[in-house]
Amino acid sequence: MQQHNTGDNNNNSPKGNTRYNQLQTIFEYLQKNVATASMIADVTGIYQKNICRYKRDLEKAGRLWETTKTICKKTGFKAWYLTTDPNKNPNCSPQQLNLF
Protein backbone atom coordinates (compact mmCIF):
# COMPACT_ATOMS: atom_id res chain seq x y z
CA MET A 1 0.00 0.00 0.00
CA GLN A 2 1.39 3.42 -0.95
CA GLN A 3 1.75 6.02 1.75
CA HIS A 4 1.02 9.67 1.05
CA ASN A 5 2.93 12.49 2.66
CA THR A 6 0.45 14.97 4.12
CA GLY A 7 3.20 17.48 4.88
CA ASP A 8 2.50 17.48 8.59
CA ASN A 9 6.04 16.49 9.52
CA ASN A 10 7.86 17.99 6.55
CA ASN A 11 10.19 20.72 7.84
CA ASN A 12 11.18 21.77 4.30
CA SER A 13 7.65 22.68 3.28
CA PRO A 14 7.34 26.25 1.93
CA LYS A 15 4.00 26.51 3.72
CA GLY A 16 3.57 26.66 7.46
CA ASN A 17 5.21 28.94 9.98
CA THR A 18 8.28 30.09 8.01
CA ARG A 19 7.17 33.73 8.04
CA TYR A 20 6.35 33.62 11.74
CA ASN A 21 9.65 31.88 12.56
CA GLN A 22 11.68 34.44 10.63
CA LEU A 23 9.79 37.34 12.17
CA GLN A 24 10.22 35.85 15.65
CA THR A 25 13.95 35.27 15.06
CA ILE A 26 14.48 38.89 13.95
CA PHE A 27 12.41 40.28 16.81
CA GLU A 28 14.24 38.23 19.45
CA TYR A 29 17.68 39.03 17.98
CA LEU A 30 16.92 42.76 18.06
CA GLN A 31 15.74 42.51 21.68
CA LYS A 32 19.34 41.76 22.67
CA ASN A 33 21.29 43.47 19.86
CA VAL A 34 21.27 46.69 17.87
CA ALA A 35 22.13 45.89 14.26
CA THR A 36 21.58 46.76 10.60
CA ALA A 37 19.58 44.56 8.22
CA SER A 38 22.83 43.31 6.65
CA MET A 39 24.22 42.34 10.05
CA ILE A 40 20.97 40.54 10.95
CA ALA A 41 21.04 38.66 7.63
CA ASP A 42 24.62 37.58 8.28
CA VAL A 43 23.86 36.25 11.77
CA THR A 44 20.44 34.68 11.17
CA GLY A 45 20.70 33.51 7.55
CA ILE A 46 17.42 35.26 6.70
CA TYR A 47 17.48 37.05 3.34
CA GLN A 48 17.94 40.81 3.65
CA LYS A 49 14.86 41.49 1.50
CA ASN A 50 12.76 39.48 3.96
CA ILE A 51 14.29 41.41 6.86
CA CYS A 52 13.30 44.69 5.19
CA ARG A 53 9.72 43.44 4.81
CA TYR A 54 9.55 42.34 8.47
CA LYS A 55 11.15 45.65 9.51
CA ARG A 56 8.29 47.53 7.86
CA ASP A 57 5.69 45.29 9.53
CA LEU A 58 7.29 45.69 12.97
CA GLU A 59 7.60 49.48 12.53
CA LYS A 60 3.91 49.74 11.62
CA ALA A 61 3.07 47.72 14.72
CA GLY A 62 5.22 50.05 16.86
CA ARG A 63 7.60 47.23 17.85
CA LEU A 64 10.81 48.23 16.00
CA TRP A 65 12.78 51.47 15.99
CA GLU A 66 15.69 52.96 14.06
CA THR A 67 18.30 54.14 16.58
CA THR A 68 21.13 55.75 14.59
CA LYS A 69 22.25 55.99 10.99
CA THR A 70 25.97 55.26 10.90
CA ILE A 71 28.46 53.10 9.03
CA CYS A 72 27.42 49.43 8.99
CA LYS A 73 30.09 47.13 10.41
CA LYS A 74 29.28 44.55 7.72
CA THR A 75 28.95 46.61 4.52
CA GLY A 76 30.88 49.79 5.27
CA PHE A 77 27.97 51.92 4.04
CA LYS A 78 25.64 54.15 6.04
CA ALA A 79 22.63 52.26 7.32
CA TRP A 80 20.06 52.41 10.09
CA TYR A 81 20.79 50.43 13.24
CA LEU A 82 17.59 48.75 14.47
CA THR A 83 16.21 47.57 17.78
CA THR A 84 13.04 46.06 19.22
CA ASP A 85 14.06 46.88 22.79
CA PRO A 86 11.74 49.69 24.00
CA ASN A 87 14.46 50.95 26.35
CA LYS A 88 16.66 51.73 23.32
CA ASN A 89 13.93 53.58 21.41
CA PRO A 90 15.39 57.04 20.71
CA ASN A 91 11.92 58.61 20.39
CA CYS A 92 10.53 57.45 23.71
CA SER A 93 11.83 57.66 27.24
CA PRO A 94 11.39 54.62 29.54
CA GLN A 95 9.11 56.74 31.74
CA GLN A 96 6.61 57.08 28.88
CA LEU A 97 6.37 53.30 28.58
CA ASN A 98 5.15 53.04 32.17
CA LEU A 99 2.27 55.51 31.82
CA PHE A 100 -0.25 52.89 30.74
Residue type, 69: K
Q: Which domains does the chain have, with CATH numbers?
A: 18-97 (1.10.10.10)
Predicted confidence at residue 89, as pLDDT, reads 81
Q: How far is CA 29 from the centre of its chain?
A: 7
Predicted confidence at residue 3, as pLDDT, reads 46
Cα angle: 54, vertex 59, 65; to 5 degrees: 110
pLDDT tens per residue across span 58-78: 999 999 999 999 999 999 999
- Residue 76: count of CB within 10 angstroms of its CB: 9
Q: Kindly give the parts of the chain with pLDDT less than 70.
A: 1-17, 92-100
Least Cα distance to 74 among 100, 56, 51, 97 occurs for 51
Predicted confidence at residue 46, as pLDDT, reads 95
**Bridge partners, residue 83, by sequence:** 65
Predicted confidence at residue 35, as pLDDT, reads 97
